[in-house]
Structure 1
Amino acid sequence: MRHLPLILFGLFAAATSVHAQQLAATCHASSSYDLTVQANSLLFDRPAPAPRRVLLEDGTLRVDGQAVALNDENQDRLSLFERNLRALVPRVKAVADQGVDVAVQAIRSEAGGLNLGADTRAELDRRLAADAADLKQRIAASQSTHDWHGTAANQYAQRLASDIVPLLAADLGQQALTAAMSGDLQGAAALRDRASNLANTWPARLQQRMQVLRPRIEALCPDIQRLASLQQGIRDDQGRSLDLLEVGH
């Protein structure tokens, strides 16, 4: 059942990654920075190009460690930008929470077509509930986009998959063994094909299921566009545009 890791790797991570993709596609919004929400400030950082580190705190601006003088208008704009962005964070997290629920339901639906034993189904439900609760807790506690991409996200997705893959693999393996020992080689082959087909068709079906999030994402777009407008044209002391958030058409 070597295809199962391909199916389950990142299922819960999809709740956040697909959500992020939809946010970018639906609102035409993107940023080259990561965002960390701190107690008294917002930190935008990226490896390149400069500016690499932008710190906003109550209308003040520091870029790559240097304070930037602002006129009253730009100071007010950045203060409003910071306040509005902080207000947007819990709404984005709420959509990600719903994405977790969608992913859990998707796994249960796919598992329903595998003819799993009653004990396996019960244990799967228990593990899904525990993993979903853990991911929702992580979403609630997270204050940085660094938590949801690259190595950190992949390691978390692998850990979640390792919690579920052995359970399903054992059940399907037993089904295949039972079929083979009874002489039903065709049935054993069908089980392998089912796992393979599931891996091949899963991404498209997950994307389709995630469309249920679209209305809630669309509701975020006006506020995201407002944020982009507030910071548009603000420059550092070297005349470089910050471009913390970019919105296309």
Structure 2
Amino acid sequence: MRARFPAFVILLCVAGGAGAQDLATTCQVASTYDLTVRPDALVFERADAAPRTVRMHDGALDTDGKQVPLRPDEQDRVALFERQVRNLVPMAKAIANDGVDLAARAVRDEAATAAPSAVSDGELDRVLNARVADIKRRIAASQSTRDWQEDAMRAYAQEIVADVGPILTRDVGGQAMELAMNGDLQGAAALRDRVANVTTGGQARVVARLEAALKPRIQALCPSIGQLVELQSGLHDAAGRPLLLVERGG
């Protein structure tokens, strides 16, 4: 069964921010569930083992379509668990939005090193701004962590890096051709190598910058995430199995 970082915090990793494994290490918690945050309920889902579906709303708990009888104190804990998750989501999305901005700035810095003129004419900024706006729209609209698993996050980071590739290639290509025609083959090759360095190694450098910038903010949420482990303690599914939506030990 594959462990995932808790669904309500996976949003923090958008655009290649700190990886899920690093986050699990940071807060020492993990989950095997995907989460969908609906207006009427939280829905946790997984395919590997029962309970496959867990639904929470206003102190009520259903697992695999069956209502779980709860004492009043258990209802209170379920309600608090739901409220805690809903409170975490906007904070996570805010960090994710900042992560997108940080990623775009990091990519711009990479591009400025490889091809300064591509930055100075404004084309690169227009492309980056459009990509940032698109990813932020996806963050705002997302209700399910299926949109933000590790593979998806890496893809978003690659989208940002890949956007600048054609711009740099066009910008440097003309300069390199001119150098080559004037007999400076070494200079032409050096220009092309600078672009290749951005498109092939740029993502790793962008991710490293995001990890350094966002990790302290992620750590600040760890106590709230840890409280979820305590709130679910003693709760069971409809078949009497302990409810383990969030688990310590990453």
TM-score by length of 1: 0.84
Identity of aligned residues (%): 49
Name the counterpart of 1:185.
Answer: 185
Matches of residues 1-249 of structure 1 in structure 2 within 5 Å? 15-19=14-18, 21=20, 22-118=22-118, 121-149=121-149, 163-198=163-198, 201-210=201-210, 211-248=212-249
Q: Which runs of 5+ in 1 are unaligned?
A: 1-12
Alpha-carbon distance between aligned partners in 2 of 1:202 and 1:161, rounded to the nearest angstrom: 7
After superposition, the Cα gap between the structure-2 partners of 1:214 and 1:150, relative to the gap in structure 1 and judged at 3 Å, is closer
Q: Which runs of 5+ in 2 are unaligned?
A: 1-11
Alpha-carbon distance between aligned partners in 1 of 2:116 and 2:81, rounded to the nearest angstrom: 51
Alpha-carbon distance between aligned partners in 2 of 1:174 and 1:14, rounded to the nearest angstrom: 37
CA RMSD across the alignment: 2.6
Say whether the 8 Å CA contact 2:16–2:156 is kept in structure 1. Answer: no
TM-score by length of 2: 0.84
Alpha-carbon distance between aligned partners in 2 of 1:51 and 1:191, rounded to the nearest angstrom: 56
Say whether the 8 Å CA contact 2:16–2:154 is kept in structure 1. Answer: no
Name the counterpart of 2:8.
Answer: none
Q: Deviations over 1:21-79 (max 9, x none)?
A: 35323212211111100011000001112211111111111111111111222211111
Alpha-carbon distance between aligned partners in 2 of 1:158 and 1:28, rounded to the nearest angstrom: 28
Say whether the 8 Å CA contact 1:19–1:96 is kept in structure 2. Answer: no
Amino acid at match of 1:236: D
Name the counterpart of 2:9.
Answer: none
Question: How far is the alpha carbon of 1:17 from its aligned partner?
Answer: 4.1
Matched positions, count: 237
Alpha-carbon distance between aligned partners in 2 of 1:247 and 1:205, rounded to the nearest angstrom: 30
Say whether the 8 Å CA contact 2:40–2:57 is kept in structure 1. Answer: yes
Alpha-carbon distance between aligned partners in 2 of 1:120 and 1:170, rounded to the nearest angstrom: 14
Say whether the 8 Å CA contact 2:45–2:52 is kept in structure 1. Answer: yes
Alpha-carbon distance between aligned partners in 1 of 2:14 and 2:178, rounded to the nearest angstrom: 35
Question: How far is the alpha carbon of 1:120 from its aligned partner?
Answer: 6.7
After superposition, the Cα gap between the structure-2 partners of 1:131 and 1:111, relative to the gap in structure 1 and judged at 3 Å, is same
